């Protein structure tokens, strides 16, 4: 029995190799996974042309996944250094990598990225359109926008951010309800500008069916972009954000009618108390589609530390239903991230994802923590390093400050509670 997409296969009762691989990694029943894909609650981004892919599942009941952004800009155009970031992201177990390159001819880099990365690859085609056609934004035609989408699909991109929800009506809502930070989504701002200059509807909204045909042909998962995501906590949960979310829910149903897999993208910047209600809103308005969030950043006052503000929000978001976290680095709002920035961002996001998995009771999540606690009780430093989310840093800290007693650390020395309890309970002298 033939099929074009993972969703179509699932709806026909077919269990694909990708489903088998994901079910094994997630320790769940493959038939149950197939049913979740069929109803749209789980996606497996897996372009038919991405031969090096090690598929991962994103959605209900699965481990929270993380995405790493990279790519060149006009001010920092070094594809070799971006490939170093790719290698680091893969080594640090990122589940997905988004190429957000927005300058020059990016085709060669994108193709090399797809060929070399086992992680799912995402892009934002509208970023590439200006450089690809070497045209002013307002001069790019509908056919050319769709042409870039098809080019990315042919190159093997697994999921694409498409800002189809910022249509003319959403734009009116935005203008009638002024914001502190307006539109902070780069793709959203480009399309808003294109619509305003040309006095036309968003091409990705108007020609959504043509977009779906491309995605169906290559099994590209549509990540419906949140052009109106809040760029400050003041703008969170406002009229334009909710208006766009309603449109995204409608587009989700249209995509599912064509057996195209869908992710929904979300905020953004948001105060702690608004995060859980926003997760509920998305799941309600977008019919349980997997939710992909940038942060949310829970305060606006920490440039240089936004990997922390993001991790706080990401843990709360994922514990309340978000399925996919986009990492944020300490360089957010300041510069293109370095390798060190990337590492900090990945670790912070992985901690947030795991903390949420503990709260959600994801199978296997607590076992990792229990193993670490057992190693600490036994003062088994080698095992602690092996289990650490960042073994290199843990080993370095231990090596930099050596204690007098090997079964302690320089914080407590022989007064170590764990050491002394072990000795007392085994009836051995403490000192």
User: How would you classify residue 40: left for phi > 0, otherwise alpha for psi between -120 and 50, otherwise beta?
Assistant: left
Cα angle for residues 25, 84, 365 (degrees, 5° grid): 25
Alpha carbon distances (Å) from 143 to 139, 146, 211, 325: 11, 5, 11, 32
The torsion angles phi and psi of 379, rounded to 5 degrees, stand at: 50, 40
Q: Which residues are annotated as a binding site?
A: 69, 98, 127, 163, 185-187, 226-229, 265, 269, 292, 333, 409, 412, 416
Q: Which residues are annotated as a binding site for Zn(2+)?
A: 269, 333
Q: Which residues are annotated as a binding site for [4Fe-4S] cluster?
A: 409, 412, 416
The DSSP H or E segment spanning 120 is strand 120-123
Q: By the 8 A CB rule, do 291 and 264 touch?
A: yes
b/e per residue, 344-368, with b = 16+ CB within 10 A? bbbbbbbbbbbbbbeebebeebeee
The DSSP H or E segment spanning 294 is strand 291-294
DSSP letter string, 52-85 = T-----EETTSPPEEEEEE---SSS--HHHHHHH
Q: By the 8 A CB rule, do 363 and 33 touch?
A: no
DSSP letter string, 328-397 = --TTTTTS---HHHHHHHHHHHHHHHHHHHHHHT-TTHHHHHHHHHHHHHTT-HHHHHHHSSSHHHHHHH
Residue whose pair of structure tokens reads 């709260």 in the numeric block: 359
Residue among 247, 246, 164 at smallest CA distance from 209: 164
Burial of 122 (0-12, 13-18, 19+ CB in 10 A): buried
- Could you say which DSSP state residue 92 is in? T
- What are residue 269's DSSP bridge partners? 297
Q: How far apart are CA 399 and CA 409, in angstroms?
A: 10
Q: Which residues are annotated as a binding site for substrate?
A: 69, 98, 127, 163, 185-187, 226-229, 265, 292
The CA-based dihedral angle spanning residues 123, 129, 134, 135, taken in that order and rounded to the nearest 10 degrees: -150
- What are residue 199's DSSP bridge partners? none
């Amino acid at each position: 029995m033939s099929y074009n997409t993972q969703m179509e296969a699932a709806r026909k009762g077919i269990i694909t190799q990708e489903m088998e691989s994901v079910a094994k990694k997630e320790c769940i029943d493959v038939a149950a996974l197939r049913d979740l894909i069929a109803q749209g609650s789980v996606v497996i981004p897996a372009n038919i042309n991405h031969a090096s892919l090690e598929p991962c599942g994103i959605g209900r009941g699965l481990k929270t996944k993380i995405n790493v952004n990279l790519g060149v800009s006009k001010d920092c155009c070094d594809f070799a250094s971006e490939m170093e970031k790719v290698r680091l992201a893969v080594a640090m177990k990122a589940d997905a990598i988004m190429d957000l390159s927005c300058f020059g001819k990016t085709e060669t880099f994108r193709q090399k990225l797809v060929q070399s990365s086992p992680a799912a690859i995402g892009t934002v085609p509208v970023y590439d359109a200006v450089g690809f056609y070497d045209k002013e934004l307002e001069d790019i035609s509908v056919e050319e926008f769709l042409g870039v989408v098809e080019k990315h699909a042919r190159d093997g991109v697994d999921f694409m951010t498409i800002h189809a929800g910022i249509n003319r009506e959403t734009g009116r809502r935005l203008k009638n309800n002024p914001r502190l930070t307006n539109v902070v989504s780069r793709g959203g701002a480009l399309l808003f500008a294109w619509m305003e200059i040309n006095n036309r509807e968003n091409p990705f909204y108007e020609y959504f069916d043509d977009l779906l045909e491309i995605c169906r042909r290559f099994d590209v998962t549509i990540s419906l972009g949140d052009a109106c995501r809040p760029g400050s906590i003041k703008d969170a949960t406002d009229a334009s954000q909710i208006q766009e979310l309603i449109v995204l829910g409608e587009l989700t149903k249209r995509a599912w009618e064509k057996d195209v897999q869908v992710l929904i993208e979300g905020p953004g910047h948001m105060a702690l108390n608004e995060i859980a209600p926003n997760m509920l809103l998305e799941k309600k308005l977008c019919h349980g589609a997997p939710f992909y969030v940038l942060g949310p950043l829970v305060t606006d006052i920490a440039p240089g530390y936004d990997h922390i503000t993001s991790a706080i929000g990401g843990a709360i978001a994922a514990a309340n239903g978000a399925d996919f976290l986009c990492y944020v680095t300490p360089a957010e709002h300041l510069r293109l991230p370095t390798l060190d920035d990337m590492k900090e961002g990945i670790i912070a996001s992985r901690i947030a994802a795991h903390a949420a998995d503990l709260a959600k009771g994801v199978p296997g999540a607590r076992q990792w923590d229990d193993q670490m606690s057992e190693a600490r009780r036994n003062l088994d430093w080698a095992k602690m390093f092996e289990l650490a989310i960042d073994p290199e840093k843990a080993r370095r800290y231990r090596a930099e400050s050596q204690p007098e007693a090997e079964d302690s650390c320089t914080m407590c020395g022989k007064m170590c509670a764990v050491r002394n309890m072990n000795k007392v309970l085994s009836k051995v002298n403490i000192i």
